[in-house]
């Protein structure tokens, strides 16, 4: 999740140089597989139906641990491909349209996307399997733009394979043209117009939120400016039967209304369907009676379903339905009316086998150790023995960063952002894939030496607290807005989990109902959205920043202040606010170790869990 500072010419040169059943749910073969709950009811079909994915982040082999809620999401991309094929067959039988749409973020998340060897390109290999699915629209996400080489790969390899279906309405890449001049061009296509099997005319866009964390030689135009462009006016001028807008932008609290209103100004009654993403939540909203906006979770946990009963020339409200499907074989077999013997297609099984071969190629099953228990990001309080944040900052970082360091004898405080931990650590085998999933970002650790302990121990509270006065609250709000623009979504996701737990009185529900743990969604669309009933997950507030324990020394003791380079600007700002003896700058910051943040848990596991 880090934008490089590579110049265009160097980047282009570097890229040129670089360039039976078959099903298994669990690579931890010794574990029994738990019973899964069936969906609560059949899907509602309409004249136009959509299967939606978003924020898959490399989770193409599904979730492979047996602690709930993981088994809910244990299907893999091969299972999903078989599901799509059966659903396409059902659509033919019903004589209705069925579209397949994705809203972005294919990179950064598991070993399948991030476990490539030196000289490789993130998600290049795993994306070959996504190309095999019959997507009608795929939209760009912010994780396709953090590193120029990844954007270049999407532009030159992925988008051409989709033949106009990969959309990047407001995201460009700078490349050389045939005359060796630099030009800024769309990563994919600005928009797509097509006709469905049933003859419905569709106009589609692929919109990205106002993202600012993109790499050099990529650009993201603000949504409010995009809708003023001549190409946009031309794209929406002709009225289709339906506007189907895909984009990496949440359906609530963001800029979809800007796009929606621009279309409504030209076409007051045309049906509009929006497929959003980015915040990793399940959500639905209707901006008017002839539209629906759906967001379908994250990490191949959720498959979205949307249907619309279109009514020809009538201008009355449209009947929509939406459903959030748990991504597993039980769900898929239920909705396709198949069983374990008839569900697999040869295409789906081939994808599963190909993904397993890629896992083997990347050595993702290489074991670091055996985790003694579950460690969760927010289902256990921080700090606590069950918190993965506590594990990371109090146990793993102090060992992994100092075991081979020349400064290991100098006392320190270590600080990182909680968002660096992307996924829970589960009891049992902890392998290379688990390491990448839990902590995928390649942040470097840097330090400032000779900081008085009394000063250093004020940094963490200052980073996390707005304080009492309005100026500090304004600073914190500004910082949160900047983190959002750079792609930080964890706060929205955690707030959603908190609200879910509070709304359903999670502890009481878990004790009184015979339900497995999972998402319990409340949104603003009619009816119940969750396909399978669950008890809500426990959720505790976590800070934006976390730190190792403070050494038991006098306040005037000089120590090392160690932190990830991702928070360097913020930390220097705070350090200069809490003391006045010296003005600290980038010149005071040095590299602390060659160990990157994504290697910390593996190093620790080899030491502590064997």
Cα distance between residue 547 and residue 418, in whole Å: 9
| 469 within 8 A of 425, measured Cβ to Cβ | no
The pLDDT of residue 6:
36
pLDDT above 70 for 466: no
Mean pLDDT of 376-396: 98
pLDDT band at residue 311 under the 50/70/90 scheme? confident
pLDDT band at residue 452 under the 50/70/90 scheme? very high
pLDDT above 80 for 507: no
Cα distance between residue 582 and residue 575, in whole Å: 9
Cα distance between residue 527 and residue 504, in whole Å: 17
Cα distance between residue 304 and residue 434, in whole Å: 26
pLDDT above 90 for 31: no
pLDDT above 60 for 363: yes
Strand 367-371 to 590-591 pairing = unpaired
* Closest by Cα among 540, 566, 559, 550 to 416: 566
Helix axes 490-503, 470-485, angle to 10 degrees: 110
Q: Over pLDDT 90: what percentage of the chain?
A: 84
Mean pLDDT of 19-28: 39
Helix count and strand count (H, E) for the chain: 21, 24
The pLDDT of residue 15:
39
pLDDT above 80 for 339: yes
Mean pLDDT of 155-181: 97
Give the bridge partners for 305, in sequence order. 51, 323
pLDDT above 70 for 5: no
The pLDDT of residue 511:
52
Cα distance between residue 594 and residue 47, in whole Å: 57
Q: Which tokens in the block code for residue 477? A: 């709000």
Strand 535-536 to 412-417 pairing = unpaired
Q: Residues in the chain, how many?
A: 610
The pLDDT of residue 28:
40
Place domain 367-489+541-608 in its CATH homologous superfamily: 5'-Nucleotidase, C-terminal domain (3.90.780.10)
What pLDDT digit, counting tens, does each position of 38-82 carry? 999 999 999 999 999 999 999 999 999 999 999 999 999 999 999
* Radius of gyration for the alpha carbons in the chain, expressed in angstroms and rounded: 24
Look up the CATH number of domain 8-361.
3.60.21.10
Ordered by start, the domain boundaries in the chain are 8-361, 367-489+541-608
The pLDDT of residue 491:
86
Mean pLDDT of 246-256: 97
pLDDT above 60 for 148: yes
The pLDDT of residue 475:
63
| 195 within 8 A of 168, measured Cβ to Cβ | no
SS3 for 223-286 is HHHHCCCHHHHHHHHCCCCEEEEEEECCCCCCCHHHHHHHHHCCCCCCCEEEEECCCCCEEEEC
pLDDT above 60 for 323: yes
């Amino acid at each position: 999740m880090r934008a490089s500072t590579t110049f265009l010419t160097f980047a282009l040169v570097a890229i040129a140089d670089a360039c039976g059943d078959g099903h298994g749910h669990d690579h931890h073969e010794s574990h029994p597989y738990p019973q899964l709950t069936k969906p609560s009811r059949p899907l509602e079909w309409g004249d136009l139906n959509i299967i939606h994915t978003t924020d898959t982040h490399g989770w193409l082999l599904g979730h492979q641990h047996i602690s709930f809620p993981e088994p809910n999401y244990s299907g893999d991309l091969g299972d999903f491909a078989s599901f799509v094929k059966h659903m396409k067959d059902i659509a033919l039988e019903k004589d209705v349209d069925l579209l397949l749409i994705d809203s972005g973020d294919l990179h950064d998340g598991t070993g399948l996307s991030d476990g490539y060897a030196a000289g490789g390109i993130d998600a290049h290999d795993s994306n070959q399997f996504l190309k095999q699915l019959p997507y009608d629209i795929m939209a760009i996400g912010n994780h396709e733009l953090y590193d120029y080489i990844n954007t270049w790969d999407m532009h030159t390899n992925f988008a051409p394979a989709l033949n106009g279906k990969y959309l990047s309405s407001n995201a460009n890449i700078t490349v050389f043209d045939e005359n060796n001049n630099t030009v800024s061009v769309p990563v994919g296509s600005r928009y797509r117009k097509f006709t469905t099997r049933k003859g419905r005319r569709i106009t589609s866009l692929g919109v990205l939120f106002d993202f600012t964390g993109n790499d050099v030689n990529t650009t993201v135009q603000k949504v409010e400016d995009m809708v003023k462009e001549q190409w946009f006016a031309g794209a929406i001028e002709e009225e289709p039967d339906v506007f189907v807008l895909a984009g990496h932008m949440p359906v609530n609290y963001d800029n979809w209304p800007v796009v929606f209103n621009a279309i409504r100004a030209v076409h007051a009654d045309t049906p509009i369907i929006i497929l959003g993403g980015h915040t990793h939540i399940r959500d639905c909203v209707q901006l008017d009676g002839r539209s629906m906006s759906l967001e379908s979770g994250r990490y191949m946990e959720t498959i979205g379903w949307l249907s619309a009963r279109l009514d020809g020339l009538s201008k009355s409200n449209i009947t929509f339905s939406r459903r959030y499907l748990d991504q597993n074989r039980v769900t898929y077999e239920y909705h396709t009316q198949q069983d374990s013997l008839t569900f697999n297609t040869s295409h789906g099984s081939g994808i599963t086998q190909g993904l397993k071969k890629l896992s083997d190629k990347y050595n993702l099953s290489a074991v670091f150790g055996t985790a003694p228990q579950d460690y969760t990001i927010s289902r256990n309080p921080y700090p606590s023995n069950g918190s993965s944040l506590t594990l990371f900052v109090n146990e793993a970082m102090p060992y992994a960063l100092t075991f081979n360091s020349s400064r290991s004898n100098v006392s320190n405080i270590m600080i990182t952002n909680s968002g660096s931990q992307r996924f829970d650590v589960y009891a049992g085998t902890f392998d290379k894939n688990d390491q990448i999933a839990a902590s995928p970002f390649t942040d470097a650790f840097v330090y400032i030496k000779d900081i008085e302990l009394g000063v250093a121990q004020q940094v963490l509270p200052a980073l996390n607290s707005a304080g009492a006065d309005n100026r500090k609250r304004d600073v914190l709000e500004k910082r949160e807005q900047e983190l959002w623009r750079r792609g930080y979504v964890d706060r929205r996701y955690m707030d959603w989990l908190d609200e879910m737990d509070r709304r359903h009185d999670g502890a009481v529900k878990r004790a009184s109902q015979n339900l497995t743990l999972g998402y319990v969604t409340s949104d603003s669309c009619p009816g119940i959205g969750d396909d399978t009933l669950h008890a809500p997950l426990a959720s505790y507030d976590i800070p934006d920043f976390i730190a190792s324990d403070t050494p038991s020394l006098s306040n005037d003791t000089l120590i090392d202040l160690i932190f990830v380079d991702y928070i360097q600007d913020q930390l220097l700002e705070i350090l200069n606010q809490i003391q006045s003896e010296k003005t600290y700058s980038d010149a005071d910051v040095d590299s602390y170790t060659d160990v990157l943040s994504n290697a910390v848990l593996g190093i620790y596991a080899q030491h502590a869990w064997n």
